[in-house]
């Protein structure tokens, strides 16, 4: 691979197409690894913010990384894909693949447009690297389209390098990944990518080389497995409640089995966000297209169990409020789908808050980071600026996102603010005995058709 502006021994220059959550993190991390990086996005406002060193979303550690490298010539941003591509040898595609409207299939329009834009703008031989989450078969099709769209005399190849970032820990996951997957056709030159990832590979990160469909399937399979663990423990939690068993102790016992592990075995409100829900639906859809009916049926059940958890929280609140929340004041703690992020995409917490609002409750929501993003999505909800503002005069307090700020609250101080000291801990993250000793009625999630059961002390575990 050669570039008009570099010598054969020069490290590959990088372009990152799409500077949202994934792209901005990847661009900053690649600069941290020592490469010259140009990020490109069609949103000029986002480009301007990133060029100033401002991150338009919450991700711990990213603002410092971004500012450090935008202050030098190592990291820059542009709204011109042609400009970014001309300056680079390796081009990472980091655009979104949301769920299609009216379908469970993934919307691939952005990833296809980005790939074609890069191929058409290439001025010298280069490598396109897909990081977006796509269904099996997408990469092979995009490789063919890219090679057909490239200018005459320019050689382009495409490999797939799925991302495995956790929101709230994205910088660490990019700089110190637990594995690097490179999917390609036989004979592809992976040298530039091996050079880019030399630091983590040298530190012992496993490298998995595979074909394109396997690389595509790794990411969605990982998310599907994690989602299945969450839905499994939530299904078992309902059995535990009915049988008088303790789901938290059960999860601890299961977690000591190295084949199972403790992570993602916390019963509660369930998963949300921009990845797990849409990825399991897209995988189920694609599995159905390929005739893999058992996989599709399993994933549908996982999805249904997860969505039912939101209704269980709503039913619990209705029961503790005497059957109706009309004109009841409900303090909701949490809007983001998980802590350490301001992401409210498919957030169970925000979904529950909105559903109670529609039932006539006076809902006041507080989240340490997600107030602005939540308010844009649900402008009819009321948002407080503090825990105190959310819970004052509340008939019930709901803990729906397990921020440390919530798990460390002083229950005695809060009891003096509320109308009724009743808390629904939908994440099993509070010290139930401490809250009960301060005069609170502490409730978990009730099985369908049953009265909500107070939490036991052993339920007070912080979920992943």
Q: Is residue 207 helix, strand or coil?
A: strand
Q: Which residues pair with 15 in a beta bridge?
A: 38, 91
Which residue is it, tokens 């031989």?
125
Question: What is the distance in angstroms between the CA of the first residue and the CA of the last residue of the chain?
Answer: 43
Contact status, residue 44 vs residue 149, Cβ threshold 8 Å: no
Answer yes or no: are the C-beta atoms of 362 and 388 closer than 8 Å: no
Q: Can you give the C-alpha Rg of the chain in angstroms?
A: 24
Residue of 94, 210, 240, 275 marked catalytic = 275
Evaluate whether 176 touches 203 at the Cβ level (below 8 Å): yes
**Residue 183 near residue 215, CB atoms below 8 Å:** yes
Work out the angle between the directed axes of helices 293-320 and 276-289 (0-180°, nearest 10): 150
How crowded is residue 456: how many other Cβ atoms within 10 Å of its Cβ?
16
Return all residues near 153 (Cβ < 8 A) that are at least 6 apart.
Answer: none
| 275 is a catalytic site residue | yes
Do 273 and 346 form a contact (C-beta atoms < 8 A)? Answer: yes
Residues annotated as catalytic (active site), given as ranges = 275
């Amino acid at each position: 691979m050669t570039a008009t502006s570099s010598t054969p021994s020069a490290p590959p220059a990088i372009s990152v197409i799409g500077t949202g959550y994934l792209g901005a993190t990847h661009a900053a991390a690649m600069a941290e690894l020592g490469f010259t990086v140009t990020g490109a996005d069609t949103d000029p406002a986002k480009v301007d913010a990133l060029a100033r060193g401002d991150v338009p979303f919450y991700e711990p550690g990213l603002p410092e990384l971004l500012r450090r490298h935008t202050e030098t010539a190592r990291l820059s941003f542009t709204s011109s894909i042609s400009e970014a591509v001309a300056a680079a040898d390796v081009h990472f595609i980091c655009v979104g693949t949301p769920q299609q409207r009216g379908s469970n299939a993934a919307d691939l329009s952005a990833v296809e447009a980005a790939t074609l834009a890069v191929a058409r703008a290439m001025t010298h031989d280069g490598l396109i690297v897909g990081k977006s989450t796509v269904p099996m078969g997408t990469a092979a099709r995009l490789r063919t389209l890219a090679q057909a769209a490239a200018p005459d005399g320019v050689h382009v190849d495409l490999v797939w390098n799925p991302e495995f970032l956790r929101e709230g820990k994205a910088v660490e996951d990019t700089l110190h990944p637990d594995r690097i997957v490179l999917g390609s056709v036989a004979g592809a030159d992976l040298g530039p990518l091996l050079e880019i990832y030399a630091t983590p590979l040298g530190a012992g990160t496993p490298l998995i080389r595979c074909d394109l469909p396997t690389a595509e399937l790794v990411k969605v399979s990982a998310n599907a497995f994690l989602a299945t663990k969450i839905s499994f423990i939530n299904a078992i939690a309902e059995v535990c409640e009915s049988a008088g068993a303790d789901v938290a102790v059960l999860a601890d016992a299961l977690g000591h089995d190295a084949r199972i592990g403790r992570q993602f075995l916390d019963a509660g409100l369930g998963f949300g966000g921009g990845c797990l829900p849409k990825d399991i639906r897209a995988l189920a859809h694609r599995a159905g297209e390929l005739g893999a009916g058992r996989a599709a049926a399993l994933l549908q059940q996982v999805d249904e169990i997860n969505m039912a958890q939101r209704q269980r929280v709503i039913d619990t609140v209705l029961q503790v409020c005497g059957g109706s929340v009309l004109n009841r004041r409900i303090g909701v703690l949490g809007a983001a789908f998980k802590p350490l992020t301001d992401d409210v995409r498919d957030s169970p917490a925000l979904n529950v808050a909105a559903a109670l609002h529609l039932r006539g409750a006076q809902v006041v929501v507080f989240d340490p980071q997600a107030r602005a993003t939540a308010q844009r999505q649900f402008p009819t909800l009321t948002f407080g600026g503090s825990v105190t503002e959310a819970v004052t005069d509340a008939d019930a307090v709901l803990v729906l996102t397990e921020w440390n700020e919530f798990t460390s609250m002083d229950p005695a101080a809060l009891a003096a603010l509320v109308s009724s000291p009743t808390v629904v801990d939908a994440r099993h993250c509070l010290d139930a005995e401490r809250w009960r000793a301060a005069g609170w009625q502490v409730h978990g999630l009730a099985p369908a058709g049953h009265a909500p059961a107070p939490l036991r002390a052993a339920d007070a575990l912080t979920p992943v």
